[in-house]
């Protein structure tokens, strides 16, 4: 920015992080609504993005608070932001899908595709030097504890396993030993699957090195 600015939050206070001297272009998607906007780079705490009054006045979204509906039907949105006929969508508040535009220095832009979801889910092809884990003769792996999971956690577990199988990151195993799994709730309410590594330490005592 040519000239740093002082930013005030919704209650009129000046933002704690001080003057604003940087901005970034973002692609923001909310359901079928999509646009490129310029956003100041500031400390917003646990929030990825704060849409100010100027954005709300421009798009004037209609919100049904009790039912959780949001509709973008302003003429401005129909002409500039919506890719299909406006519709009312129900459900919890969606995560904003943010995509930085032009953030990478020119020297690294040739590697930008490495960070796309398609590339990140790939593994190198199998080769003659694939590593195997062989047990010592007569060794018996120790079993880890089994933790109970809720219905929601069970659904998340199956989804994770199916996604990993489809991506080729894991394959069906005939091992008599397994590691326990627990779930930790993220700040946004989603579940993070965690594999308890304690039994893996025990396995290292019975494997060939």
Let me know: does 187 contact 152? Beta carbons within 8 Å: no
- Could you tell me if residue 125 is inside a domain? no
| Neighbour-count burial of 5, counting CB atoms closer than 10 A to its CB (0-12 exposed, 13-18 middle, 19+ buried) | exposed
Which of 52, 84, 103 is the C-terminal boundary of a domain? 103
Produce one character per residue of 144-154: b if its CB has 16 or more CB atoms within 10 Å, e if not: beeeeeeeebe
47 lies in some domain: yes
The pTM is what? Answer: 0.39
Are 109 and 142 in contact, with CB atoms under 8 Å apart?
no
> Is residue 147 in some structural domain?
yes
Total domains in the fold of the chain? 2
pLDDT tens digits for range 64-77: 888 777 787 777 78
> Which has more pLDDT, 91 or 15?
15
Residue 208 belongs to domain spanning: 131-209
Q: Does residue 121 lie in a domain region?
A: no
Contacts of residue 200, Cβ cutoff 8 Å, sequence gap at least 6: 179
Domain termination residue (choose one: 58, 83, 103):
103
**Same-domain check for residues 97 and 162:** no
Query: Does a structural domain hold residue 205?
Result: yes
């Amino acid at each position: 920015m040519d000239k740093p600015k002082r930013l005030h939050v919704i209650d009129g206070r000046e933002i704690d992080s001080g003057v604003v001297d940087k901005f970034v272009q973002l692609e923001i998607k909310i359901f079928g609504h999509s646009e490129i906007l310029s956003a100041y780079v500031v400390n917003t705490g646990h929030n990825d993005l704060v849409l100010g009054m100027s954005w709300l006045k421009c798009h004037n979204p209609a919100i049904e608070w009790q039912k959780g509906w949001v509709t973008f039907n302003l003429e401005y949105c129909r002409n500039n932001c919506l890719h299909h006929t406006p519709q009312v969508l129900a459900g919890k508040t969606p995560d904003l899908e943010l995509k930085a535009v032009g953030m990478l220095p020119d020297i690294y832009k040739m590697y930008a595709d490495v960070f796309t979801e398609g590339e990140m889910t790939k593994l190198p092809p199998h080769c003659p030097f694939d590593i195997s884990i062989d047990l010592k003769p007569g060794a018996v792996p120790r079993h880890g504890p089994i933790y109970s999971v809720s219905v929601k956690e069970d659904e998340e577990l199956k989804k994770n396993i199916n996604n990993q199988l489809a991506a080729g990151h894991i394959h069906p195993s005939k091992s008599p030993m397994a590691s326990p799994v627990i779930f930790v709730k993220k700040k946004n309410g989603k579940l993070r699957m965690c594999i308890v590594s304690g039994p893996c330490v025990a396995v290292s005592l019975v494997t060939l090195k």
